[in-house]
Structure 1
């Protein structure tokens, strides 16, 4: 099957699953959606792998918030999204269970979709980004052999990550990366073995059973093997041979959810605007607890200051009750802005304010 044929087939599957009509331009998978639904600025697809072979799959949809009115609207939407069981979330759970059932049929391993969760929050250096996040745990997703946990065999036919999308694989507690193929576009440490997460930016088309990651519980040694980069080099021609069951289903899930999330958020905003117009244009800012008025970055800085300028990354996760993926991405943004630094010590990341790094002269 050629790539064009595969894309067309995928679009048909997506439309049937979503019950919506595709926008103009069938050659562009990102165009699937409703006429009124705006495109999200980016989609982050995150797989956190655990020692027992289970993996937490997280879908993050991000939209820019350009002013206080949009931020207020998003806060109200987020409260409803988190406190009510909307059709959007029920649809996500149904699709996740179907995806896992397909994986079970192909692998002959017992699998389940469990621990569903969702959240919506505002982040960014200027509180200019709204994030809708849904996740679930896929049991037996990875194959476990001794001290090794291997990811990639289920990606039959390879995996395609579209434009404005990124794929992130994270090492869960007690695990570290032994090898990754192909070499990632970005990683949280200086080397693959010293990293908590690896990232590929779309558009990219992986070869069969790629991306592939081997994680281990063995401690990091002073010598590590160079990660091969040739076997999984992205291709630009025809789609890889093989039964791409997961490619089609996974892309359908990502694209359908992006369209549905966009439609729900857009409809919600239009209803808010209509209600405001009917009331003579008067708007009332919803009451927000003081803690929620702080940006995510300010909250992290406050936590670090309360702990003497330095904390383990896992402590930040525990004290904020944010997801590991949210904390990891937020800290990456703050590190890029030189607001904090991260140092890998053993199996943990230590996060420090400037001047409070381990071994610094200002350390108390």
Structure 2
């Protein structure tokens, strides 16, 4: 056992076990809905459980929850220590031996703290929850440096809320916070995609969102809303392909009519008995029509100088870009939702697609999200 092991214990308390102290404080913290620093200190100053007394001081703590379609999450909590000197390596090997000989001394104490955390989240969300299958392992891994990794795995039933075919992930962790060595990863099932992620994560990919500490989440954070892929509006690429198909079909029709000598917008057939005079009459009619169109253009009565396609032929992403341009290059995200009568989730999805394509940038002014064209974002 080492004196430095207390660092691991504090990390555990701050990263996870603190939620059991945070939970009761939520109701007493007033309208803000999350605990004060004093409340959080209760957990951080708690005496370490005996099973952690031999733990080494971790360099990295990674907490990962991967949610299934029914809202249950498979959790892993990894405490990683760099094995870059003899003393640290010997200390970790001692922990490794303890895990092999008596894993229950680790899992029992960890499960006790986590059950308090789960019970607190159950009271806060109103969903029935349970902690199941707590396991522990100690391994050495190349990441790419060699690390000693103490890993806890467990299942948290009903960790996320289900809303039809959507998953609302994160309410069990409201008011969560991360220290500088910790990170939180929230993942969704294969075949799902995020509609919204709050606050903006440090990284997305491989079916998950990652936040790295230090981070202090608000009373309604972190939050991820995920839904089955393919259920939303078409992406900009698909919409562009559809527009190309429509344009190609129109060009083929124009060429077909021109080959048969039928003016665009004119009759679809000719009378064989009319001969050349009938064709000439058709051509004269076409010329007259062109003259009328020219006169209307000169008078300004029927001309349309705009080269932009009508709004009904634009994709959702193109409609947002046009709206931002019409508002001088920046607009509040809530104004986009109001303009198109979209839900907040749909608006977040469309804006997120544009942000991934570097078509827009987003930032906060107060409590408002602002969407801006890239050249306007620095103004």
TM-score by length of 1: 0.50
Return the offset for 1:71.
4.6
Q: CA deviation at 1:210?
A: 0.6
Mapped pair 1:198 → 2:209: yes
Which has the greater radius of gyration? 2
Q: TM-score, normalised by structure 2?
A: 0.49
Once the two structures are superposed, the pairs formed by residues 89-238 of structure 1 within 5 Å of their partners are 89-125=107-143, 127-156=145-174, 158-188=175-205, 195-219=206-230, 222-223=235-236, 224-227=349-352, 230=364
Distance in 2, matches of 1:67 and 1:88, equals 25
1:56-75 equivalence runs, <5 A:
56-67=74-85, 71=89, 74-75=92-93
- Relative distance call for 1:201 and 1:125 in structure 2 (3 A) is closer
Q: CA deviation at 1:70?
A: 5.2
CA separation of 1:177/1:7 partners in 2, compared to 1, >3 Å: closer, same or farther?
A: same
Distance 1:232 1:212, change over 3 A: farther
Shift of the alpha carbon at 1:77? 3.6
Shift of 1:45: 1.5
What residue is the counterpart of 2:48 in the other structure? 18
Does the C-alpha gap of structure 1 residues 49 and 126 become closer, same or farther in structure 2, counting only changes over 3 Å?
A: closer
RMSD: 3.4
Structure with greater helix percent: 2
Report SS of the residue matched to 1:18.
coil
Task: State the SS of the aligned residue for 2:66.
Answer: strand
1:39 alignment partner in structure 2:
57
8 Å Cα contact 1:54/1:140 also seen in 2 = yes
Q: Measured at CA, do residues 144 and 80 of structure 1 come closer, stay the same or move farther in structure 2, by a change above 3 Å?
A: same
Helix, strand or coil: the match of 1:48?
strand
Q: Deviations over 1:292-332 (max 9, x none)?
A: xxxxxxxxxxxxxxxxxxxxxxxxxxxxxxxxxxxxxxxxx
Decide whether aligned partners of structure 1 residues 19 and 170 sit closer, same or farther in structure 2, where only a CA change above 3 A counts.
Answer: closer
1:225 alignment partner, SS class: helix
Where 2:350 maps in the other structure, the secondary structure is: coil
Counterpart Cα distance in 2 of 1:80 and 1:37: 10
1:48 to 62, 66, 77: 66
The answer to whether the 8 A contact 2:55-2:92 is kept is no
User: Larger relative contact order (C-alpha < 8 A, sep ≥ 6)?
Assistant: 1
CA contact (8 A) 2:190 2:207 kept: no
Report the number of matched residues: 212
Change (3 A) 1:85 1:148: same
CA distance in structure 2 between the aligned counterparts of 1:69 and 1:17, rounded to whole angstroms: 25
Distance 1:126 1:159, change over 3 A: closer
